[in-house]
Structure 1
Amino acid sequence: MAPTIFLLLAIFSIVESTVGEGGGLKLELIHHRLSLDNVSPMAAKSQIWPETSQFIVKIAIGTPPTKVHAILDTGSDLFWAQCRPCVKCYRQTNPIYDPSKSSTFQTLSCKSPQCHLWGSGAACSGTDTCKYGYGYGSGSTLGELATEKMAITSRSGATTSFLGVVFGCGHNNSGTFNANEMGLIGFGRGAVSFVSQIGPSVGGRKFSLCLMPYNTDPRISSSLSIGSGSEVKGPGVITAQLVRTSDQTSYSLTLKGISVEKTFVPYSTSGPPAKGNAILDTGTPPTLLPKELYGRLATEVRRHIPLKPIDDTLCYKGNLGNLVITLHFDGHVDLRLSTAQTFNKMPDGSFCFTAMGVDDKDALIGNSMMSNFLVGYDIDNMTVSFKPTDCTKIG
C-alpha cells in the first residue's frame, strides 16, 4: 500500500525492549477468515491472517493494553491506529484505542528529533504538537505523532514489550478500510517503520515472511520472523540487490519483463526499463502494471489459456492448468509463478488474474503474486531474497 503523500518523517527513534540484545522474534502467520475475537494475541510468535486479501497483524498498544489489528504493509513506514477522540473514524468492530487511558502514551513535540518532514520542515500546529498525515491509494489518516508501549505475545503466552515506539494516533481516518482493520503497520525501509525501530533490539533491521495463497485453509498457519534468525538461506534461494531510489521507503527492484510460458513480454517497447521500476508491496493485493505492459501481457495470457474468458476480462471458469508466468528482474532474478499465485478463485467459482493495468509508469507487485515465497528483506544490506516455499507448511 504505497503512500501517495508523505507529510512527515520521524527520523530518530529510541526503542527500549525487554527482549535480549540481538534476539530475533518468531511470529506466527495465521491464514484466518474468522472473527478476530477467535484469534489469540500476536507477539513474539505473532499472528497475521488475510482479511479481504490483506494480512492483519495483532498487536497490543498502551498501558493497560488495547488490541489493535493492523494491515501488514511493506509499502509504507508509519504504524498508525485509530484513536479517540475521533474527528472522523471509519466504523471499527473492536474498541478504538483511547490514549487518555494509557499511562505510557506521550505525544511528540515539534522540537523532538522524531518530528521531521521530508523536505519542508516539521508538520507542526500552533500548540507545538507534531502532526502527521498519510495518504494511500485506498484511504488516508491524519493525527498526531506519539510514542507508546507495544507488546506482542507468542502462542505459548510469552510477551515481548517495546517502549517508546513512534506511531501515529489517527483522529481522522477514511478510505476502504473495513471494520476489522484498525490501522496499518508499516514494514518499509524508513527510520520510523516498525521493523526499523525494533530492529536494533532483535538482531537487525531484517525480516522474512511467507504469505498464504488467497484460498488457504484457515486452520493452517506459517510464520513471520523479525531480526536474528529471519535470514532466508539454503537451496533454491535467489537474492537480489535492492535499488536505491529517491523513495526511502520502498523495496524496489528493476523489472525487465514478464514471460508467459516461453513468450517474453518486455517491460517497455521503447527502450530499457528505468532502474527500480517495481515495488514489492504486501499492503496491496493485486499486482499493478503500466497499462501498455498489461495490455501486451493480457494478450499472451489469453493466447495460452484454452478457455473462453468471462466478458472482456481475464477471468475464467474451468481448469486453467498450470500456466507458468515468470517475473524477470535485473541481476538474473527470475521468479516462476504458478496459477495459485497469478489467479485468485472468486466466490462464484471463477478464477481471475491477480494483475491489473494502471496509469503509472512503474509496477507494484502485490501480495497475491508473492504468496508461496519465503521472502527475506534485509534493510541494512539492501537485499531481498526469495525461496519458493509451501507457506502452509512453515510453523
Structure 2
Amino acid sequence: MASSSSRCALVRGRALALLAALALLAAPRRIGGGAAPAARSNDPNHVFSVSSLLPGAACTASKASSNSSALSVVHRHGPCSPMHASGDAGAPSHAEILERDQARVNSIHRKVSAAGGASVIDPARASKQGVSLPAQRGISLGTGNYIVSVGLGTPAKQYAVVFDTGSDLSWVQCKPCGDCYEQQDPLFDPVQSLTYATVACGAQECQELDAQSCSSDNKCRYEVVYGDQSQTDGNLVRDTLTLSPSDKLPGFVFGCGDSNTGLFGHADGLLGLGREKVSLPSQGAPSYGPGFTYCLPSSSSGTGYLSFGGAAPANAQFTAMVTNRDTPSFYYLNLVGIKVGGRAVKIPTTVFAAAGGTVIDSGTVITRLPPRAYSALRSAFARYMGQYKRAPKLSILDTCYDFTGHKTAQIPTVELAFAGGTTMNLEFSGVLYVANVSQACLAFASTGDDTSIGILGNTQQKTFAVAYDVANQRIGFGAKGCS
C-alpha cells in the first residue's frame, strides 16, 4: 500500500510540474519595464527583422483582387510608381510629409464643425463670419500618397491620378491649358477623343457641383479650391473611363482642368472616391454595384489594388458606416476602443463620442485620436518598449525609438475596436512610421482637442482589404488583403 501511495504522489507531482511548465511557456514575454500582461492565447507582440522596416529598392508585386475592374495601387514616390520610373526626384522628406499631413487634418477639422456635430460652412454663412472660402470647399491634398492609372477617352490614354476618399470630383489637366503644372504624362487632349463632350450649364451634374459657373458658350465651368490653396478650374465634361480592357464606363463626368496650381506634384490629376453623386463610386454604381474596396501595400515598394463593386473579402469584419448629412463627402465610423499587447487601454467610449466620431480617410497618413485617447495609447505602448533607446520626435510624432544594432525587434500589437464588435489587429507596418532604423515612431498623433473629430489614416489601413459597402451602409476590414 505504501508503495502504491508513493507512486501516486510521484505521478501527481510530475503532472503539477508539467502544468507549471506549460503555463510558463504560454505566458507572454515581458517587454521592458512594468508588469507582464496576463496570459492570452494570441501572441501580444510583433517580432520582425529590423531590415524589413525600410522599403526595397525594387518594385515587389503583391496579391491583387480577383475583381476584373481592379486597378493597381502604388505609392507615388515608390519604385512601382510610373512617376518614379520617369525619374521624378520630387519626393518630400519625412518632415515635409508629416507637415503636409497636418495641413490636411487641419482642413478636415475646419470643414467639420466641432460645435453641434458636423457642418460645412456654406458661402453665404462664411462671408458673414469672415471665414476664408478656399479652406472650406475642399480638404488639403496632403502628400497624396497613393496613385492609380486609368484610361480616359477613345482611344484610351493612360493617366496617373491620386485617389482620394475625401474628394468627390475627379479631374485631369487638359489642352488647351492656360496655367498647368508639370505632370507625368501628356495633357489630356479632347480633340483626340471620339467620345468627348462638354456638360451644359443646365445639366443636373453641373447644378450639383459645390462651385460652378457658366461660360459664354453655355459650358459648365467648375472650380475646386483645396484646403492648402491648391486649385483646379476648367470645363465639366464627359468621356469614357477605362479601368481595364474589358471594363469601361461611358459618359463618365469629370473635370477637364485648364487652370491648375498648387501641391499636385507630378500626378496627372485626381480620382474622387467620396460619397457625392459626382464621385466615381456613385457614377459607377449602376455598372459595378455600389461600393469599392482597396488595399494599401505594407511599404512603398509594394503594390495594392482598388476595385469597384464585387463581393467583399470573405474574412472582412464590418462596422456601421455612420451617415453625416452635413459633411456628405466623408465616410464615418465609430471607433470605440484600443488594445495594446492584447490588453484593453483604459479609454472611456465617451472620449470618442465627444469628438464626434471618426472619419476614415485614404489621404491622411497618420491616425489622429482625441488627446485623452492618444495619451493613454502612448503610455501603454511605451511600457512595452523599455529595452529600446528613445529617439528624437519626428514632427507630429513624439514616441520614437532607435533600433540601431538590433537584427530583430519586437513591439506590442495594437488593435482598434469599432462599433458592432469589429476589430483591426494592425500589422507592425500599421503601428510604426519609419524614417530610418534609428527613428521608428508610433504612427498615431493627437487631434489636439478632445472635441475635434478623429481620423483613421492610411498607415493603419495598410495590408487590410478595406471594403466600402455603400448599399448596406457599412465598412469592412479584411486582414492580409495584400502584402
Using the size of structure 1 for normalisation, the TM-score is 0.77
**Gap runs ≥5 in structure 2:** 1-65, 86-142
Once the two structures are superposed, residues 139-190 of structure 1 have per-residue CA deviations (whole angstroms, 9 ceiling, x without a partner) of 432322111111123xxxx3432211010112233333221x1111112222
| CA distance, structure 2, for counterparts of residue 74 and residue 175 of structure 1 | 19
| CA distance, structure 1, for counterparts of residue 205 and residue 155 of structure 2 | 24
| 2:145 alignment counterpart | 54
| CA distance, structure 2, for counterparts of residue 359 and residue 77 of structure 1 | 27
| CA distance, structure 2, for counterparts of residue 113 and residue 353 of structure 1 | 46
Once the two structures are superposed, residues 291-329 of structure 1 have per-residue CA deviations (whole angstroms, 9 ceiling, x without a partner) of 554344334333332223322432322155132122222
Of the three residues 384, 404, 415, the one matched with 1:304 is 384
State the aligned residue count.
344
* Offset at residue 112 of structure 1 (A): 0.3
| 1:174 alignment counterpart | 261
SS in 2 for 1:346: strand
Task: From the superposition, tell whether residues 136 and 364 of structure 1 become closer, same or farther in structure 2 (CA, over 3 Å).
Answer: farther
1:123 pairs with 2:203: no
1:340 pairs with 2:429: yes
Residues 109 and 129 of structure 1 are in contact (CA less than 8 Å); yes or no, is this contact kept in structure 2? Answer: yes
| 1:207 alignment counterpart | 292
CA RMSD of aligned residues (A): 3.0
Once the two structures are superposed, residues 265-309 of structure 1 have per-residue CA deviations (whole angstroms, 9 ceiling, x without a partner) of 53777684355x211111222223345543443343333322233
Once the two structures are superposed, residues 231-275 of structure 1 have per-residue CA deviations (whole angstroms, 9 ceiling, x without a partner) of 2224xx311111111222222101224333325253777684355
Task: From the superposition, tell whether residues 126 and 254 of structure 1 become closer, same or farther in structure 2 (CA, over 3 Å).
Answer: same
Amino acid corresponding to residue 333 of structure 1 in structure 2: T
Of the three residues 310, 313, 316, the one matched with 2:401 is 316
Of the three residues 32, 55, 68, the one matched with 1:25 is 68
| 1:44 alignment counterpart | none
Decide which structure has greater helix share.
2
Amino acid corresponding to residue 309 of structure 2 in structure 1: G
| 1:145 alignment counterpart | 236
Residues 214 and 368 of structure 1 are in contact (CA less than 8 Å); yes or no, is this contact kept in structure 2? Answer: no
Amino acid corresponding to residue 86 of structure 1 in structure 2: C
Amino acid corresponding to residue 174 of structure 1 in structure 2: T
Amino acid corresponding to residue 382 of structure 1 in structure 2: Q
Residues 384 and 411 of structure 2 are in contact (CA less than 8 Å); yes or no, is this contact kept in structure 1? Answer: no
Of the three residues 284, 297, 306, the one matched with 1:224 is 306
Greater gyration radius: 2
The equivalences for 1:214-363 within 5 A come to 214-216=299-301, 218=302, 221-228=303-310, 230-234=311-315, 237-246=316-325, 247-261=327-341, 262-266=343-347, 272-273=353-354, 277-291=357-371, 293-306=373-386, 307-312=388-393, 313-318=398-403, 320-347=409-436, 350-358=439-447, 361-363=452-454
| 1:132 alignment counterpart | 222
Q: Identity, % of aligned pairs?
A: 29
* Offset at residue 28 of structure 1 (A): 4.5
SS in 1 for 2:416: strand
Task: From the superposition, tell whether residues 88 and 183 of structure 1 become closer, same or farther in structure 2 (CA, over 3 Å).
Answer: same
SS in 1 for 2:224: strand
1:66 pairs with 2:157: yes
Once the two structures are superposed, residues 66-95 of structure 1 have per-residue CA deviations (whole angstroms, 9 ceiling, x without a partner) of 321111222222211122333432221321
| CA distance, structure 1, for counterparts of residue 189 and residue 447 of structure 2 | 39
Residues 432 and 443 of structure 2 are in contact (CA less than 8 Å); yes or no, is this contact kept in structure 1? Answer: yes
| CA distance, structure 2, for counterparts of residue 285 and residue 325 of structure 1 | 17
Residues 123 and 132 of structure 1 are in contact (CA less than 8 Å); yes or no, is this contact kept in structure 2? Answer: yes
Amino acid corresponding to residue 171 of structure 1 in structure 2: D
| CA distance, structure 2, for counterparts of residue 300 and residue 82 of structure 1 | 47
Residues 321 and 339 of structure 1 are in contact (CA less than 8 Å); yes or no, is this contact kept in structure 2? Answer: no
Residues 82 and 173 of structure 1 are in contact (CA less than 8 Å); yes or no, is this contact kept in structure 2? Answer: yes
* Offset at residue 366 of structure 1 (A): 1.6
SS in 2 for 1:176: coil
Amino acid corresponding to residue 417 of structure 2 in structure 1: H
Task: From the superposition, tell whether residues 98 and 53 of structure 1 become closer, same or farther in structure 2 (CA, over 3 Å).
Answer: closer
SS in 2 for 1:332: coil
| CA distance, structure 2, for counterparts of residue 232 and residue 56 of structure 1 | 22
**Gap runs ≥5 in structure 1:** 1-22, 40-51
SS in 2 for 1:205: coil
1:164 pairs with 2:251: yes
Amino acid corresponding to residue 210 of structure 1 in structure 2: C
Residues 169 and 271 of structure 2 are in contact (CA less than 8 Å); yes or no, is this contact kept in structure 1? Answer: yes
| CA distance, structure 1, for counterparts of residue 233 and residue 431 of structure 2 | 35
SS in 2 for 1:25: coil
SS in 1 for 2:380: helix
| CA distance, structure 1, for counterparts of residue 287 and residue 261 of structure 2 | 33
Amino acid corresponding to residue 225 of structure 1 in structure 2: S
